[in-house]
Amino acid sequence: MKKISLQSLAITVFVFVLMWGVSKLADLKFFSAFDPISQALTDFELTDYAFSNMRLDPDVDQRIVLVNLAPNRALIAQQVMKISQHKPKVIGIDSFFNCEGGLYDTLNCPQLLDTLGNLMLSNAIQEAGNVVLVSKLMQTKALASQGDIDVYDSIEYSDEMFKRYAYNAFASLPTNASHQEDVKLCRSVFPRMEVNGNEELAFSVQIAMLYDSMKARRFLARNKKEEIINYRGNVEIQDYRLSGLNSADLSTTKYPIMFYAIDWDKLLQDEYIKDIFEGSIVMIGIMGDYFGDPSWEDKFFTPLNKKVAGRANPDMFGLVVHANVVAMILNEDYIDELAPWQLNAIAIIVCYLTVVLFIIIDRNLPLWFDTLSVIIQVFLILATSGLIVYSFSYASLKLDLSLTLAASALVGPSYDIFKGFQNQIRKWQLTKKSVEVLNE
């Protein structure tokens, strides 16, 4: 058993060295011909299948109401005033009200021409008293040149006439997109960030804090720099006027519906249930020029996307992403993860025990080794994949067992390579001994 243990340990080390070598080889892009395939699968995770296909549709969260943003500031002011009349607990507006680039002239910032609209919006925000506006985490050129994308040293706010009467919280989401028009895949949120020594809360966290401070503080007490968003649902934004569908027919959407949504013109025309806003969270943001608009503006790919690999169309507006985070905080429905050392330990243990099993089979059933080793590898890969999906679906535990999957895939070839080297060394040793005996 001691000999088997040492041999198993040596082969396990060889497996992980081989994985390291393969990863370094991949970095050199020798296999660039396969880039289209890798790009199609690079944003896929096994848990996406659980998100999009295995969970039960949620109940509509009646605490959160989403409203499409009106096309100009005067109409947005009317939206805020109308909503505020129904006494919601908090109003979040996912939109900037500033001049891009800080150019305050009417040529570069035509919004300044709407003096009345600006005053109306400022007054509406002041009168409401419970509005949260978004800010944007920024990097100076000096910091950006250092290459750390998750460190910020400045913040962009709405203009002072709006900012001073509102709570301000950053809406920046981690997507790895290099620019605004790039593909944006959103899986997580930064609950808070430190900027120049000050703690800044995320837009969704600030909204939850104003609605239920105890739950928001418990969320922050998890003390995680980045939280996986436990997506539960989307909104129905079909334009029934164009489609001819009945608004009660919710089966037209392919995503689970979790939030009520009201188009901007319906709100201003009083075509909504009046008591839907009272005591609730109202979140206003872009959901197209109208419900059903195919625009990709402020739209993200999420794990709820039914097309889990090689995605073609983004499935969720940024406003709905923030609403999912708020719902997660209020429901205290979080996704937990294992520590990196635990994931590494699982991979090492699984690999080691598999090698031990291979050695036992090779010694006792050598004729069946090739068949049984392949069966064991396939079983390990399927079992690990199933464990990832089901632990996520039923325990909200994300197991990133990619290292275990890689070890399971390479343990068979690695065993054969190691055994081949071992046999060659033995032959060399026997040959050397034979020559020595003959010389004597």
The single residue listed with the structure tokens 């608009």 is 293
Work out the angle between the directed axes of helices 318-331 and 213-220 (0-180°, nearest 10).
Answer: 100
Is pLDDT above 80 for 112? Answer: yes
Beta strands of 227-272 (E only): which ranges? 227-228, 234-235, 257-262
Give the per-residue pLDDT at 281. Answer: 97
What is the pLDDT confidence band of residue 287, given thresholds at 50, 70 and 90? very high
**Checking DSSP bridges between strand 154-156 and strand 131-138, what pairing results, if any?**
antiparallel
Which two structure tokens, joined as six digits, stand for 192? Answer: 């808070």
Give the per-residue pLDDT at 190. Answer: 95
Average confidence (pLDDT) over 99-117: 82
Which carries the bigger pLDDT value, residue 22 or residue 92?
Answer: 92
Average confidence (pLDDT) over 47-55: 76
Residues 6+ apart with CB under 8 A from 135: 155, 156, 157, 158, 168, 169, 170, 171, 200
Give the CA distances from residue 257 to residues 130, 189, 307, in Å, rounded to whole numbers and listed in that order. Answer: 27, 21, 17
Is pLDDT above 50 for 261? Answer: yes
Average confidence (pLDDT) over 148-153: 71
Contact 12, 351 (CB under 8 A): yes
Give the per-residue pLDDT at 242. Answer: 38
Is pLDDT above 50 for 235? Answer: yes
The single residue listed with the structure tokens 């889990």 is 308
What is the pLDDT confidence band of residue 349, given thresholds at 50, 70 and 90? very high
Average confidence (pLDDT) over 174-179: 72
What is the pLDDT confidence band of residue 239, given thresholds at 50, 70 and 90? very low
Share of the chain above pLDDT 90, in %: 48
What is the pLDDT confidence band of residue 149, given thresholds at 50, 70 and 90? low
Is pLDDT above 60 for 115? Answer: yes
What is the pLDDT confidence band of residue 247, given thresholds at 50, 70 and 90? very low
Give the per-residue pLDDT at 135. Answer: 94
Give the per-residue pLDDT at 37. Answer: 45
Residues 6+ apart with CB under 8 A from 374: 412
Give the per-residue pLDDT at 244. Answer: 40
Length of the chain: 440
Give the per-residue pLDDT at 435. Answer: 66
Average confidence (pLDDT) over 164-170: 96
Is pLDDT above 70 for 241? Answer: no
What is the pLDDT confidence band of residue 178, given thresholds at 50, 70 and 90? low
Give the per-residue pLDDT at 30. Answer: 46
Give the per-residue pLDDT at 427. Answer: 80
Is pLDDT above 80 for 238? Answer: no
Which two structure tokens, joined as six digits, stand for 274? Answer: 């009046």
| Chain segment 362-390, per-residue pLDDT in tens | 989 989 988 999 999 999 999 999 999 88
Report the range out of 63-77, 104-118, 151-165, 170-184 with the highest average pLDDT: 63-77
Q: Give the DSSP H/E element, type plus range, for residue 137.
A: strand 131-138
Which carries the bigger pLDDT value, residue 264 or residue 27?
Answer: 264
Which one-letter DSSP state was computed for residue 40?
H
**Checking DSSP bridges between strand 192-195 and strand 198-201, what pairing results, if any?**
antiparallel
Q: Which of 99-103, 201-205, 227-231, 297-301 has the lowest mean pLDDT?
A: 99-103
Give the per-residue pLDDT at 309. Answer: 62
Share of the chain above pLDDT 70, in %: 85
What is the pLDDT confidence band of residue 404, given thresholds at 50, 70 and 90? very high
- The structure's pTM equals 0.84
What is the pLDDT confidence band of residue 236, given thresholds at 50, 70 and 90? confident
Which one-letter DSSP state was computed for residue 166?
S
Give the per-residue pLDDT at 254. Answer: 64
The single residue listed with the structure tokens 């506006």 is 133
